[in-house]
């Protein structure tokens, strides 16, 4: 049975995958490890890979920042499949606001009280969502420290990856306000998909995953 590692995005946990069907796989939910604040995504990915004994020919599914970490894992461990959702593969796909926040890191000067505001964090980390989903995602947020959230934002903004690993698949929604589908290349686009589409559009995502797992969809063709 193939091992399938799930990595959630910043501010979330692997409950975001609860509506997806992974029948037939040995599923390993990956929890975020503490950081001293000095890690970039590359070094942090190495720590996760070692802590969870991710071995060659495993499958990794990452969402948002978790997908960026998945890319770094796949650069050091040859994976059977790397599936990215609601994210970017390289620095070339980064949204315009990344450069703005890189040059002016306003998240570092946001008052603690505002940073912990439910409405503020919901929009900042997850994008827009239905009111019915807010409770679950705010429960996810309770396990995160402000320092870790700020580290994750800084690590994403400083990510300079230009390499697409072999066996990569990319799924994005056309309503994602965090990572616009117009900036990503070679992605499978889900109509109506938001930044949390793996949770609130499970039927559409399951249909795509089924085709990926059965090799009906080929991975991204790498440049020669």
224 inside domain? no
Tally of domains in the chain: 1
Q: How far is CA 15 from CA 54, 57, 166, 169, in A?
A: 20, 24, 27, 21
Encode the chain (224 residues) as per-residue pLDDT tens digits: 899 999 999 888 999 999 999 999 999 999 999 888 788 999 999 999 999 999 999 999 999 999 999 999 999 999 999 999 999 999 999 988 776 565 555 555 566 555 555 555 555 555 566 666 777 777 777 777 878 888 888 899 999 999 999 999 999 999 998 899 999 999 999 999 988 899 989 999 999 999 999 999 999 998 76
Question: 215-220 — which CB contacts under 8 Å span 24+ positions?
Answer: 217/169, 217/188, 219/81, 219/166, 219/167, 219/168, 219/169, 220/89, 220/164, 220/168, 220/169, 220/170, 220/186
State which residues form the domain around 151. Answer: 3-213
Indicate which CATH number applies to the domain containing 120. 3.40.50.1820
pTM, two decimals, is: 0.90
pLDDT given for residue 120 in this prediction? 53
Give the per-residue pLDDT at 49. 97
Which pLDDT value is given to residue 111?
61
Let me know if residue 42 belongs to a domain: yes
In the prediction, which pLDDT does 202 show?
96
**Is residue 220 included in any domain, yes or no?**
no
| Residue 121 confidence (pLDDT) | 54
Q: Give a yes or no: residue 15 inside a domain.
A: yes
């Amino acid at each position: 049975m193939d091992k399938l590692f799930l990595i959630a995005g910043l501010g979330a946990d692997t409950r975001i995958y609860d509506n997806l069907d992974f029948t037939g796989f040995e599923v390993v939910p990956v929890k975020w490890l503490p950081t001293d604040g000095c890690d970039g995504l590359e070094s942090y990915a190495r720590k996760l890979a070692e802590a969870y004994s991710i071995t060659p020919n495993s499958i990794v599914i990452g969402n948002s920042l978790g997908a960026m970490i998945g890319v770094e894992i796949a650069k050091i461990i040859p994976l059977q499949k790397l599936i990215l959702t609601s994210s970017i593969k390289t620095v070339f796909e980064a949204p315009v606001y990344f450069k703005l926040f890189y040059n002016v890191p306003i998240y570092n000067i946001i008052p603690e009280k505002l940073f912990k505001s439910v409405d503020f964090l919901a929009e900042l980390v997850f994008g827009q969502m239905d009111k019915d989903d807010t409770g679950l995602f705010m429960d996810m947020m309770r396990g995160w420290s402000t320092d870790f959230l700020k580290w994750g934002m800084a690590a994403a903004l400083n990510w300079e990856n230009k390499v697409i690993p072999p066996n990569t698949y990319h799924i994005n929604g056309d309503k994602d306000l965090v990572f616009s589908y117009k900036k990503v290349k070679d992605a499978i686009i889900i109509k109506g998909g938001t930044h949390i589409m793996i949770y609130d559009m499970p039927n559409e995502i399951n249909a795509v995953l089924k085709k990926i797992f059965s090799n009906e969809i080929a991975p991204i063709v790498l440049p020669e």
